[in-house]
Structure 1
Amino acid sequence: MTIATDPAALDALLANQDPGRWDSFFADRSRPVPFFGPAPDENLAAWIDEGLLRPGQALDLGCGFGRNAVHLARHGVDVQAVDYSETALAWGREAAQQAGVQVDFVRSDVFELQVPEGAYDIVYDGGCFHHIAPHRRAQYVDLVVRALRPGGIFGMTCFRPEGGSGFSDDEVYARGTLGGGLGYTEEQLRAIWSAGLVIDELRPMRKPAAGSGTFGEPFLWVLRAHRA
């Protein structure tokens, strides 16, 4: 198999795809990272308040320290939260315990997950997709679509062009890095996610008012879609 068609060989080209970097990223909880806190994404909180997301089975991909998973669990959702970083997951388990909720935290590469067809009412991604390499995008979309039951909802936040590295797909491989995450245009997201889902909402994330108890930054997109 040539390097152009071998995902493992392409993975190896990307120096910043080393999973160990995420343990370092989450090790210092006092770092001034915008989302380092308990607040859930503003869109996730709104969808719950509006009745768009209801109790059921949820999969949180790239959950980090579980701020969105904990919020879902607080509202009666049975959540499996997946991340590669054990440091992040340990933080998440502490957060869930402090909140008095149960979350099933699982350490795994998302591409190694064994996901039964149609197992979830909700799949959520609060910042994983923009760290997915270009050659893995279709596989990631397939994972999300396969995980959802018919009518199930996918929610996602990801970088807009101004939030990402600015690298094109070709530059990712030429430089050997995603540069901290890829930014997407509206047209790109519609083309990628319409392949398997019906897009119901796609908008810039809102910056909540101070004291709202939610997180949001306008350099991120919010996407909501469902499996037909």
Structure 2
Amino acid sequence: MSDAAAWDARYGDGGFAFGEAPNRGLEALLPRLRPGMRALALGDGEGRNGVWLAERGLAVTSVDWSAAGMAKAAALAARRGVALRTVTADLTQWDAPVGAFDLIAWVYVHLPPDDRAVVAAKAVRALARGGLLFLEGFTPAQEGRRSGGPRDPALLWTGSLARQHFAGLELLECLEGTVLLDEGPKHQGHAEVVRALFRAP
């Protein structure tokens, strides 16, 4: 079974694995958001973050390699009465248009190191001048916790990795520590994360 097929299986039931509410770190960006901004939600799964951004009046593209997830994202957007462009694609293969987005949300997208570098470079190129990139991911301190995240330590984020991958952007915030997750059945309880915000020059 490919990784995409595994996520199709996870998203194939009637519930939402990570809930329907947005990530709280992304939600905290609300004062920076304006209707009409162009947003890209990477690895958006069942669409909780993309749909929330669309509800704020942003023009949103959600990308995920799970067709099942993107179908649920489209259905969620329709139920909420907002427009959402969904793309089913491997992030390493999909080429985002250059300079096309005012906001990129990279929420719990954990990739192998080589793939992470490829997708990060594409994300930087996809940002418009002054555009924001929001990142939240599990750190190695998450080991042993049952609140979610990959078991392979190579897939995890650190603040230093974030600074390395997005070195061409201005760092606005970068925090590492404990948060309390309440994001559907798959993200429940205290978790160790890095949360960072960057801006394109």
TM-score range relative to shorter protein: 0.7 to 0.9
Residue 193 (1) aligns with residue 175 (2): no
Residue 79 (1) aligns with residue 60 (2): yes
CA distance in 2, matches of 1:119, 1:57: 7
Greater share of strand residues, 1 or 2?
2
SS across alignment from 2:45: coil
- Cα distance 1:78–1:217, how it changes in 2: closer, same or farther (>3 A)? farther
Q: Report deviation, 1:205.
A: 6.2
Q: Report deviation, 1:30.
A: 4.2
Q: Report deviation, 1:134.
A: 1.1
Residue 120 (1) aligns with residue 93 (2): no
CA distance in 1, matches of 2:136, 2:44: 12
For structure 2, which runs of at least 5 residues remain unmatched after alignment?
A: 145-149, 183-187
CA distance in 1, matches of 2:135, 2:128: 17
- Cα distance 1:221–1:81, how it changes in 2: closer, same or farther (>3 A)? same
8 Å contact from structure 1 (residues 205, 216) kept in 2: no
Residue 61 (structure 1) aligned to one of 42, 60, 67: 42
What's 2:185 paired with? none
- Residue 191 of structure 1 aligns with an amino acid whose one-letter code is Q
Residue 136 (1) aligns with residue 109 (2): no
- Residue 7 of structure 2 aligns with an amino acid whose one-letter code is W
What's 1:182 paired with? 155
8 Å contact from structure 1 (residues 164, 181) kept in 2: no
For structure 1, which runs of at least 5 residues remain unmatched after alignment?
A: 1-15, 166-176, 210-214
8 Å contact from structure 2 (residues 8, 66) kept in 1: yes
TM-score computed with the length of structure 2 as normaliser: 0.83
What's 2:13 paired with? 28
8 Å contact from structure 2 (residues 39, 103) kept in 1: yes
Q: Report deviation, 1:139.
A: 1.3
Residue 157 (1) aligns with residue 122 (2): no
SS across alignment from 1:19: helix
Aligned residues: 190
- Cα distance 1:151–1:216, how it changes in 2: closer, same or farther (>3 A)? farther
Q: Report deviation, 1:120.
A: 0.6
CA distance in 1, matches of 2:153, 2:33: 30
Residue 146 (structure 1) aligned to one of 111, 125, 132: 125
8 Å contact from structure 2 (residues 112, 154) kept in 1: no
CA distance in 2, matches of 1:164, 1:135: 22
CA distance in 2, matches of 1:110, 1:216: 28
Superposed CA deviations along residues 19-64 of structure 1, whole A, max 9, x for unmatched, are: 2111112123448x5x2x111011111111xx22223111111010
8 Å contact from structure 2 (residues 120, 166) kept in 1: yes
Whichever of the two has the greater Rg, that structure is 1
CA distance in 2, matches of 1:205, 1:42: 13
TM-score computed with the length of structure 1 as normaliser: 0.74
CA distance in 1, matches of 2:95, 2:115: 17
What's 2:147 paired with? none
8 Å contact from structure 1 (residues 41, 216) kept in 2: no
Greater share of helix residues, 1 or 2?
1
- Cα distance 1:111–1:151, how it changes in 2: closer, same or farther (>3 A)? same
Superposed CA deviations along residues 165-214 of structure 1, whole A, max 9, x for unmatched, are: 9xxxxxxxxxxx973872233223222322x21111112463279xxxxx
Residue 95 (structure 1) aligned to one of 76, 80, 85: 76
Superposed CA deviations along residues 57-81 of structure 1, whole A, max 9, x for unmatched, are: 1111101000000110010000000
Identity, % of aligned positions: 31
